[in-house]
Structure 1
Amino acid sequence: MSVRVMSYNVHSLRDDLSALSAVVRGVAPDVLVVQEAPRRWRWRTKCANLAESFGMFMAVGGMPSLGNVIMTSLRVRVLDTWCMRYPLTPGRHMRGACFARLQVPGRGPFTVVGSHLSTDDAERPAQAALLKPALALDDPVIVGLDLNECPDGGSWQLLTDRLGDAAALADLEDRPTFPTPNPTRRIDAILLDPRLELGRYQVVTSDAADRASDHYPLVVDIG
């Protein structure tokens, strides 16, 4: 049974929310990894309302993972969830990651991870170094994240030491993701455990996606 996973930096919901909902509903993912979701005042209600606008349900994230969220469809069973936080660098945003151990009918458990690394070149490698051992799990892992660097960066290289870059696996490394509507950089990624089979990789571009966020979302179908 295939699984559709989408990863999307939603730009702190600063843009056209109707367009954002249309983009996600058009993809109809089983699992959605969100970066820059609500993380402060009334974050639970805001995240739940965002999930409802997508026709999905909150699994994990929000304030505990500093704005990273994993949402699921009714097809997905949530077996376990947890979060981690990276150390705070004074004067910069605190960041983290969220984890959800999931299962769909017809296949064994897998773990989806969401994270958003620092924009600071000095801070980002340490965050990647903390995330990497957290991905060494018994179940196959799917990671959706905004790395804030291109594939030649050190943090990207560290995290793809064990996991495959879905764009590279699909021979679509030339598809930039940021900024909309005229992207010039590929700073978003979905990374896949080698035990998983990639069926499709896509950068979702459309008029609605241009209005919905400053990032284009990524979608993979796992066979």
Structure 2
Amino acid sequence: MGAPGSGGVPLRVLSYNIHSQRDDTAALAEVVRTVTPDVVIVQEGPRRFRWRQKSATLAESFGLVVGAGGLPALGNLLLTSLRVRVLETRCERYPLTPGRHLRGAAYAECLVGGSRFLLAGSHLSTDPAERPAQAAAFKRTLAAATLPVIAGADLNEGPDGPAWRTVAEGLTDAAEAMDRADRHTYSCANPRRRIDGLFVDPRVTVVDYDVVDTPRTRQASDHFPILVDLLLPAAD
């Protein structure tokens, strides 16, 4: 998608699998604060004992506040700056397959600069047999939205996979929009796959896309974060 037009509302989005904060948490906070996002879509956030307090502490370390998610969304967490107002939230849990990890999604209807949008985040299974149904459940909610959608996810497969194609259908893959689909997001130790994606409504302009690969991101998690600058449609 091209350069921003007039009258749009800028939004900086970070989508990040933080590896359950098992790595260098000081580096993690530094990575996020350095890029000054308006919203962060977190995968593998706090989801167990004292998850509310842990989510708030994580958000504070980023200079943000909790918008939605946590335990009810099974670790998917939406964080926002004070520039973004959260109007409504929803959490979803995908059907449980016995013996597998629970997965889910978080959603928040947001307002920034007079422009409304739906922010969404999910983390699909590592099991290829489970992913298509989870992707379909995520997609049903995205497709039902009347607001412009911004969805970040760790899909645990690349763009050639069926789950990825399900989520991406009808949306703009931000990496492809900026001709940067060759940038790998996993793993930091051996980058060879793009399994993390940021998808936006066609009404949203992708201004820039980056996979943030620095010495600090390699210390902060096993995934690289995706940083995307967007232009939301101006309010009517």
TM-score by length of 1: 0.98
Alignment of 1:173-192 (within 5 A): 173-192=181-200
Q: Mean alpha-carbon deviation: is it higher for 178-187 or for 18-27?
A: 178-187
Q: Deviations over 1:110-146 (max 9, x none)?
A: 0110000000010000101111110021100000100
User: Residue 135 of structure 1 corresponds to which residue in structure 2?
Assistant: 142
Question: Runs in 1 of length 4+ with deviation above 2 angstroms?
Answer: none
User: Residue 92 of structure 2 corresponds to which residue in structure 1?
Assistant: 84
User: Residue 118 of structure 2 corresponds to which residue in structure 1?
Assistant: 111
**2:222 is the alignment partner of 1:214:** yes
Find the aligned partners of 1:191 and 1:126 in 2 and give their Cα distance: 19
Find the aligned partners of 2:112 and 2:95 in 1 and give their Cα distance: 34
TM-score by length of 2: 0.93
Find the aligned partners of 1:22 and 1:181 in 2 and give their Cα distance: 19
Find the aligned partners of 1:217 and 1:88 in 2 and give their Cα distance: 28
- The runs of 5 or more residues in structure 2 that have no matched partner are 1-8, 232-236
Find the aligned partners of 2:50 and 2:169 in 1 and give their Cα distance: 38
**2:89 is the alignment partner of 1:67:** no
User: Residue 234 of structure 2 corresponds to which residue in structure 1?
Assistant: none
From 164, 168, 176, give the equivalent of 1:168: 176
Find the aligned partners of 2:217 and 2:189 in 1 and give their Cα distance: 8
The number of aligned residues is 222
Structure 1 residue 18 displacement after superposition:
0.3
Q: Percent identity?
A: 56
Find the aligned partners of 2:111 and 2:228 in 1 and give their Cα distance: 16
RMSD: 0.7
